[in-house]
Amino acid sequence: MLIRVPRRSDEKESAVTDPEIYRQRRIFMQQCAAGVAGLAGSLLVGGQAQAGLTIGAVQSSPYSTDEELTPMHAATHYNNFYELGYKKEDPSRNAAALITEPWTVEVEGHCENPGTYAVEDLVPVDQLEERIYRLRCVEAWSMVIPWLGVPLSVALKKLRPTSQARYVAFQTILDPENLPGQRRAVLDWPYVEGLRMDEAMHPLALLTVGMYGQVLPNQNGAPIRIVVPWKYGFKSIKSIVRIRFVEGQPPTAWNQATPHEYGFYSNVNPEVNHPRWSQRRERRIGEFRKRKTLMFNGYAEEVAHLYSGMDLHKYF
């Protein structure tokens, strides 16, 4: 069954699912998962028929953490999205400046299926999963967010990268006329990021179109972003318009801006401090006491093998 989910920009604030309704849906989903086979794990995300991405039944994922969710309001009003401003409250305030319709993604480089793709062509919306992942920012705060997406590998496989593709590069929209943050040269616009191909193909790397049961709010990177839960938040590039398969390690926005502070890998690593502060601890939004930061953000068992033999002080 397919249900149309209204776009965030079409909704009044009051119509946006509040956390309590969201919590009830989650309980419903857990009950489904425990019960009827076939329906197991299905979460029907609601909304009237309106223009927007069509989201069907959403599968829960064994990769989800069972930690307490960050309230949706915090996750959507405390953001880093420099295109929409440099302060944490700017992206939600300036969200309307990001024009997401129409939206296409250019696919280029070493692959058999280059071209112009609609979001729905890259993300099979009838296969969406909910992944409850931690997102840890390099600034030492963290959140627990229920993302909606498909493994990045699902989309990349469709594009059929060739053996020459060793990295995949991503680029965010460039629109200085509308995006207030792009009128100043704080970063070398457009924002770019990249992953080694085996990182990108890892099942934890998520190509994301929604959160909290809805399409992504603009400030969280609508209409399509990645979420790489074992890396610092800035690797999780928002509002992607270009995917390029390349041979050499691609430039990344924060590494270009301050290379001694931000490396290409940017794995969450409590042993490697940021030059200006420790990375040993973090503050979970909504909590007072700091907690210990875990290697690879708690996903070491799944991803440590990707970096075996690498000196993670050198490749930070």
| Contacts with Mo ion, residue ranges (CB under 5 A) | 80, 137, 233-234
Residue 111 CB-half CA count within 13 A: 23
Contact between 218 and ligand MTE per CB under 6 A: no
Residue with tokens 């229920």: 146
For Mo ion, the closer CB: 170 or 245: 170
Number of residues near ligand MTE (by CB under 6 A): 17
Which residue in the set 137, 154, 168, 197 belongs to the binding site for ligand MTE (CB under 6 A)?
137
Interface mask toward ligand MTE for 159-178; x: CB under 6 A: -------------x------
User: Alpha-carbon dihedral of residues 311, 291, 130, 168, nearest 10 degrees?
Assistant: -20
The nearest distance, CB 29 to ligand MTE, in angstroms, is 22
The nearest distance, CB 111 to ligand MTE, in angstroms, is 22
The nearest distance, CB 247 to ligand MTE, in angstroms, is 24
The nearest distance, CB 262 to Mo ion, in angstroms, is 10
Which residue in the set 60, 61, 70, 79 belongs to the binding site for ligand MTE (CB under 6 A)?
79
Which residue in the set 17, 70, 94, 236 belongs to the binding site for ligand MTE (CB under 6 A)?
236
- Per CB under 6 A, residues contacting ligand MTE are 79-83, 135, 137, 172, 191, 220-221, 233-234, 236-239
